[in-house]
């Protein structure tokens, strides 16, 4: 297949290049057909109109153009006009070079004189001046500032050649002739901008001939024939809000207006038409064209017809010529009717990127105690932007070598053009993560894919912190990673306690069952515990509940995690109470409250004083009574631990307004955690 495509391109190049070089040109076939493309990013076709438009190049692109003059009797057959090569460089930079031997504007200024021979016969001799303006080379550079904004600069090289046919008569009255040649050269610089301020609207702005640099001047006797390039502001507007239609409008500071329409009749076929107007008074020219696309080649053919051909025969009135200044040599009052043919080849074009990762945020560190939770709880968020002009479905994947077997992938998220969304991602770790014995740093990679899951549009390298088994960062929010209600030792302890008091539990009224279970568990658990006041260690080391049961003691963090795990093993919801006193933050403390399941209207069933409990919503959104417990009071009974916990919570939350001021937090650990 690749060999067939290469042969097809080679044959096409031969057909285009085997042509005669002469006469003038009017840009590419597509731009002629639609009345100009200052506002469209159409690759190499934009070079002469707006250099910012070459920012749509995908990689390498090659364009060849031919034309035939249909109203000039001196020019026959197809004429090789131009060869343009462009390249995308480093994602945001674009270059184009044009060689255009057929980009010429030729004139003849007729002159003659008469003499009489010895027999008295009149002899007329012609000494016409031939003037040729050529734009053989052009260069373009564009920079894409962002997806819908690009700027560009174009440089065009012109030379002017004048051939003056002369006669002389010597002393012997012998007439001889010779030709004088005069040449001048100059550079002209254009600036362009292309942007999409609104959806479906594209705006192009070009300043033509902003700077000019003359390399060689004409002889002063021929100053009248120098190429006078006037500065000009060109504005283009393109609307593509309809599925198969695009409308184009061009205007400039010399009051020329062009309008055109492009209709996509099929995926491979485009039909175009345009009107050229001056000051809205009269139609200067009309155009029509057809575009055929068969990847990686696009063919465009167009016809341009001028309605007034007075000055379009390449023989001019010198006074008419002197009154004119030019924008370029493509579209002038002396250009002729023509048929244009352009072939554009996209070479080695890469897959178009659809999405980009703007930023990645890791939501916390990894605790090896319960790595399975990260398959259901987001480990981080990726901010993803749609950099295409169509809606995409983006997915984010995450991978850490060694401790993950394969990348995890999210579901697809719909993202509109230019929209930025945050996509949470997850991790499924393998068994090697449980073997990490010390604080470690791993490299994680975040990928984003759009439409095709296997083709990643962008990737972002990030750092992943993995803590050892008992390592803790001091944040109570992270303390929940040490809660293990499903640990066999925890379940064994709670079940044996409930069995020992089965008769009491069975005879307790239903509304108080969870409260009684919690009280019994605390009593049996507290008998085996010793509180060890070690605040320094609590900031970086936490025991698991099974370890606390084996060691028969711990600090406030260890005891809170242990008793909370026992309650949750019985299906009782728990919340940690995190206290960081603003006046003495080094005296931070944690204890807990649990959901008794009792409705507020039955509060007197457990306490006459309503300040001994907290009314708050449970996981189901129902208001129930929650019991604060100071877990460090294991040397006392349940009631004293309850009284102290209730007193601490009331003073910190109500009197000192710790919750509203942010130094007291209640962190829920829902059932099923």
Question: What CATH number should be reported for the domain holding residue 652?
Answer: 3.10.620
Rounded Cα–Cα distance for residues 609 and 606 (Å)? 9
What's the average model confidence in pLDDT over 664-671? 85
Asked if 33 and 105 sit in the same domain, the reply is yes
CA proximity to 165, closest of 175, 176, 178, 182: 178
What's the average model confidence in pLDDT over 246-255? 86
CA angle centred on 573, ends 645 and 553, rounded to 5°: 55
Collapsed DSSP state (helix, strand, coil) of residue 33: helix
Highest mean pLDDT among 142-151, 241-250, 495-504: 495-504
What's the average model confidence in pLDDT over 553-582? 93
Rounded Cα–Cα distance for residues 368 and 400 (Å)? 14
pLDDT one-digit tens code per residue, 344-383: 888 765 567 889 999 999 988 888 877 877 887 889 999 9
Show which of 347, 375, 410 is a domain's final residue: 347
**DSSP codes joined into one string, 563-604:** HHHHHHHTT--EEEEEE--SS-GGG-EEEEEEE----GGGGG
pLDDT at res. 349: 56
What's the average model confidence in pLDDT over 284-300? 88
CATH code assigned at 361: 2.60.40.10
Rounded Cα–Cα distance for residues 548 and 542 (Å)? 9
Token duo for residue 224: 């009248």
pLDDT one-digit tens code per residue, 302-332: 998 888 777 666 555 556 665 466 677 777 7
Show which of 420, 445, 467 is a domain's final residue: 467
Number of domains making up the chain: 3
Phi/psi of residue 275, nearest 5 degrees = -130, 135
Q: What are the start-end ranges of the H helices in 298-349?
A: 318-322
Asked if 162 and 78 sit in the same domain, the reply is yes
pTM equals: 0.52
Show which of 328, 347, 366 is a domain's final residue: 347
Token duo for residue 664: 């007291």
CATH code assigned at 304: 2.40.160.40
Asked if 365 and 339 sit in the same domain, the reply is no
Asked if 281 and 376 sit in the same domain, the reply is no
Asked if 418 and 510 sit in the same domain, the reply is no
Asked if 539 and 640 sit in the same domain, the reply is yes
Asked if 397 and 457 sit in the same domain, the reply is yes
What's the average model confidence in pLDDT over 137-155? 91
Asked if 534 and 436 sit in the same domain, the reply is no
Name 425's bridge partners.
380
pLDDT at res. 455: 52
Q: Within 13 Å and on the Cβ side, how many CA atoms surround 143? A: 4
What's the average model confidence in pLDDT over 425-438? 89
Rounded Cα–Cα distance for residues 494 and 489 (Å)? 9
- Domain ranges, residue 455: 355-467
Q: What are the start-end ranges of the H helices in 142-222?
A: none
Burial 360-392 (b: 16+ CB within 10 A, else e): bebebbbbbbbbeebeeebbbbbbbbbbbeeeb
pLDDT one-digit tens code per residue, 165-208: 776 666 666 666 677 888 888 999 999 999 988 888 899 999 99
**DSSP codes joined into one string, 213-250:** EEEEPPPGGGGGGS--B--EEEEEEEE--SSSEEEEEE
Rounded Cα–Cα distance for residues 239 and 199 (Å)? 9
Instruction: Give the N- to C-terminal CA distance of the chain in Å, as an integer.
Output: 57
Rounded Cα–Cα distance for residues 413 and 390 (Å)? 14
The better pLDDT of the pair 529, 310 is held by 529
pLDDT one-digit tens code per residue, 601-647: 999 999 989 999 999 998 888 999 999 999 999 999 999 999 999 99
pLDDT at res. 5: 43
Asked if 360 and 341 sit in the same domain, the reply is no
Token duo for residue 221: 């006797």
Asked if 68 and 156 sit in the same domain, the reply is yes
User: How much is the CA Rg of the chain, to the nearest whole Å?
Assistant: 42
Asked if 307 and 398 sit in the same domain, the reply is no
Name 394's bridge partners.
413, 450
Check whether 475 has a pLDDT greater than 80.
yes
**Band of residue 223 on the pLDDT scale cut at 50, 70, 90:** confident
**Band of residue 8 on the pLDDT scale cut at 50, 70, 90:** very low
Check whether 154 has a pLDDT greater than 90.
yes
Asked if 60 and 110 sit in the same domain, the reply is yes
Q: 657 Cβ partners below 8 Å, 6+ apart? A: none
**Band of residue 40 on the pLDDT scale cut at 50, 70, 90:** low
């Amino acid at each position: 297949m690749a060999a067939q495509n290469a042969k097809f391109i080679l044959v096409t190049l031969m057909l285009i290049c085997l042509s005669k070089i002469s006469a003038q040109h009017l840009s590419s076939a597509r731009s002629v057909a639609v009345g100009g493309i200052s506002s469209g990013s159409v690759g190499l076709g934009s070079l002469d109109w707006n250099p910012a438009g070459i920012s749509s190049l995908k990689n390498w692109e090659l364009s060849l153009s031919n034309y035939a003059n249909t109203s000039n009797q001196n020019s026959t057959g197809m004429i090789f006009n131009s060869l343009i090569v462009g390249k995308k460089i480093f994602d945001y930079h674009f270059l184009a070079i044009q060689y255009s031997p057929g980009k010429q504007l030729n004139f003849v200024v007729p002159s003659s004189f008469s003499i009489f021979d010895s027999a008295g016969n009149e002899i007329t001799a012609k000494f016409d001046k031939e003037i040729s303006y050529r734009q053989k080379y052009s260069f373009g550079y564009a920079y894409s500032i962002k997806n819908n904004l690009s700027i560009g600069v174009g440089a065009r090289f012109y030379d002017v050649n004048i051939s003056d046919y002369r006669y002389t008569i010597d002393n012997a009255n012998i007439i001889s002739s010779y030709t004088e040649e005069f040449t001048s050269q100059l550079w002209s610089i254009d600036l362009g901008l292309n942007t999409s301020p609104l959806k479906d609207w594209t705006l192009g702005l070009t300043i033509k001939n902003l700077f000019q640099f003359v390399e060689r001047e004409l002889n002063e006797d021929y100053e009248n024939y120098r190429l006078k390039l006037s500065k000009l502001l060109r504005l283009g507007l393109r609307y593509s809000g309809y599925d198969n239609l695009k409308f184009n409008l061009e205007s400039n500071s010399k009051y020329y207006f062009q309008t055109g329409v492009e209709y996509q009749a099929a995926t491979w076929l485009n039909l175009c038409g345009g009107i050229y107007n001056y000051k809205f008074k009269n139609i200067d020219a009309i155009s029509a064209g057809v575009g055929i696309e068969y990847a990686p080649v696009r063919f465009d053919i167009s016809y341009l017809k001028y309605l007034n051909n007075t000055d379009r025969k390449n023989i001019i009135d010198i006074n008419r010529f002197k009154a004119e200044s030019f924008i370029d040599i493509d579209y002038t009052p002396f250009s002729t009717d023509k048929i244009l043919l352009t072939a554009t080849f996209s070479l080695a074009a890469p897959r178009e990127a659809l999405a980009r990762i703007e930023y990645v945020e890791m939501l916390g560190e990894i605790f090896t105690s319960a790595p399975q939770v990260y398959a259901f709880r987001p480990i981080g968020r990726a901010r993803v932007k749609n950099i295409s002009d169509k809606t995409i479905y983006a997915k984010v994947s995450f991978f850490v070598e060694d401790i993950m077997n394969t990348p995890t992938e999210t579901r697809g998220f719909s993202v509109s053009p230019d929209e930025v969304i945050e996509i949470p991602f997850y991790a499924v770790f393998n068994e090697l993560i449980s073997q990490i014995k010390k604080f470690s740093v791993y490299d994680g990679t975040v990928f984003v894919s759009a439409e095709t899951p296997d083709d990643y549009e962008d990737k972002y390298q990030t750092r992943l912190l993995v803590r050892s088994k008992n390592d803790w960062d001091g944040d109570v929010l992270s303390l929940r990673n040490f809660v293990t209600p499903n640990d066999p030792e925890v379940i064994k302890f709670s079940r044996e306690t409930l069995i020992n008091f089965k008769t009491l539990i069975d005879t307790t009224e239903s509304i108080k069952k969870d409260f009684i279970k919690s009280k019994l568990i605390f009593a049996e658990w507290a008998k085996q515990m010793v509180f060890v006041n070690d605040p320094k260690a609590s900031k970086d080391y936490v025991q698991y509940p099974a370890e606390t049961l084996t060691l028969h003691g711990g600090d406030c963090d260890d005891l809170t995690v242990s008793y909370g795990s026992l309650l949750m093993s019985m299906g009782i919801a728990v919340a940690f109470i995190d206290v960081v006193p603003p006046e003495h933050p080094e005296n931070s403390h944690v204890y807990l409250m649990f959901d008794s399941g009792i409705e507020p209207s039955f509060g007197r069933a457990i306490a006459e004083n309503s300040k001994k409990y907290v009314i708050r919503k449970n996981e189901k959104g129902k208001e129930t009574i929650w019991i604060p417990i100071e877990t460090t009071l294991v040397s006392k009974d349940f009631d004293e631990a309850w009284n102290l916990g209730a007193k601490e919570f009331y003073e910190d939350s109500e009197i000192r307004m710790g919750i509203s001021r942010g130094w007291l937090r209640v962190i829920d650990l829902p059932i099923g955690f």
